[in-house]
Structures are given as C-alpha cells and as structure tokens.
Amino acid sequence: MPTLNRGFALTWLGHSTFRLVTRGAKTVLMDPWVEGNPACPQNQKHFDKIDIMTISHGHDDHMGDAVTLAKKHRSTVVCIYEIHAWLQRKGVTTTSPMNKGGTQDVQGVRFTMTQALHSGGIEDGSQVYYGGEPSGFVVTLEDGTRIYHAGDTAVFSDMALIGEIYQPEIALLPIGDLYTMSPREAAVAARMLKPKYIVPMHHGTFPALTGTPDALREELRKQGVASEVVALRPGETLS
C-alpha cells in the first residue's frame, strides 16, 4: 500500500463509509453507516469527534447513522438541500446544504458537490421522502489534495468534466455491481477521472456486491488506464 506522507489519514469503514482525518485535525465522516454496516469493524464504531459529515444520497446504507451521530457530535452535515430539510425535521440543526456544481468551505476543508447517476429516496417508516438527487463530492484538503467520493453511481460521461476541473488524486469508486458500477464501468470512469489512486468501495458488504479490486485491476490493464488500485480492507488506512 502506498504511503503518501501528506498528513491525512483515510480509513475505510466498509461499504461507502470513510473516516478522513485531515492535517488540520478535522475528522470528516463520509456516508455515515456504522451500526448496521456488516462490514464495519467493531473497533471502528466509536468516534472521539466528527467535525464534518458528508452524505451522498438518501439511502439507508449511506446515511443510516446520520441523525444519531450528527446530534451527538454536533457535526456540520454537508448534503443536498432536500436531505438537509429531512434532517432538520429530525432535529439535526447543524446541516450545511448545497447543490451540484457548488463548493463550500467548512472549517478549512472544501466540499464540491458533483453529479451521480443513481436514485435517492429516504425510507422513513412506511413513507419514502424525496431526498433530492444523489451526489458525489470532491473534497479539497488544507494542502490542496483532492479526493473524489463518487457516492453510488453508474459511469457517466461527465466524469470527464470532474477529471478536467478538479483533477482528483484519489478516487473512491463503487465497484460492487448490481446497485452501482462494476469493475468494467469503474475502469472507464477512471479513464475519464485520471486519478493516481483508486480506492474501491461498495463491494463485498453483501454477497450480491460481487465486484472485486482484482477484477478492477484487470479491467484497468485491459483498458490501458494507469491508476493504481489501493484495496483497503475495512478498518485499514491510507495515510
């Protein structure tokens, strides 16, 4: 596994959940799904603090613990407007809504909301609420390092714009298939995004999410894409 020595630590908590600790000591939790997440190691379920939270879309496997954790840690929750409105109704008062194409600075870390090709209803008891559109995020750290969390998505050609405009060094891409891209599409995504490193996510959580990092490496090789696959195990850290 590469060591970047850039003063940040990116830990995969399984599925699409990541804990990012920046050089400025900000803790960012991306797609908070911890308690019900079968891939999240038991010893990773406690947080000393969560300064900022990002939510890519309204599905439970991406925001199942958002309300509880945001209230407990008074986290600034970065999400699309409609999820903000739902969280406010649940008593979360620390949301910071935005929409696609926009960027906001939260405590020195910058968040740009990007497109994602998926769905995003919020299941709440017997109701389904409109959660706005699903999104991804480009996170720009204090030192300018850019990390792209794609959320749940199919491949789409405007990923070329994300690559052109933001030039992410690290791309967190779903590869599990069925609900998102498989390794075949993720390799095409990487061709457009041109990240130095790909951290695969949204795979292995359930038997149905069959895409593997090795299959992604094979697809990248076949398509002549130079990105390096950094296959974290849940609980492992890229730092």
Sites of contact with Ni ion (CB under 5 A): 59, 152
The binding track of 61-80 with respect to Mn ion, each residue x by CB under 5 A or -, is x-------------------
The binding track of 174-213 with respect to Mn ion, each residue x by CB under 5 A or -, is ----------------------------------------
User: What is the residue-wise DSSP string for 77-99?
Assistant: EEEEHHHHHHHHHTT---EEEE-
Q: Which is nearer to Ni ion, 21 or 174 (CB)?
A: 174
Q: How many residues bind Mn ion (CB under 5 A)?
A: 2
Q: Does 31 bind Mn ion (CB under 5 A)?
A: no
Q: Which does 217 bind (CB under 5 to 8 A by kind): Ni ion, Mn ion, none?
A: none
Q: Which is nearer to Mn ion, 98 or 116 (CB)?
A: 116
Give the nearest distance from C-beta 9 to Mn ion in angstroms: 24
Distance CA 224, CA 155 (A): 17
End-to-end CA distance of the chain: 10
- 50-53: long-range contacts at Cβ-Cβ below 8 A with a sequence spacing of 24 or more? 50/75, 51/26, 51/27, 51/75, 51/76, 51/106, 51/107, 52/26, 52/27, 52/28, 52/76, 52/77, 52/78, 52/106, 52/107, 52/109, 53/28, 53/29, 53/77, 53/78
Give the nearest distance from C-beta 61 to Mn ion in angstroms: 4
The binding track of 135-164 with respect to Mn ion, each residue x by CB under 5 A or -, is -----------------x------------
Name which of residues 45 to 64 contact Mn ion (CB under 5 A).
Answer: 61
**What Cα–Cα distance (Å) separates residue 42 from each residue in 34, 120, 219?**
9, 28, 33
Distance CA 203, CA 155 (A): 16
Give the nearest distance from C-beta 4 to Mn ion in angstroms: 27
Q: Which is nearer to Ni ion, 19 or 59 (CB)?
A: 59
Give the nearest distance from C-beta 183 to Mn ion in angstroms: 17
Distance CA 127, CA 125 (A): 6
Binding residues for Mn ion (CB under 5 A)? 61, 152
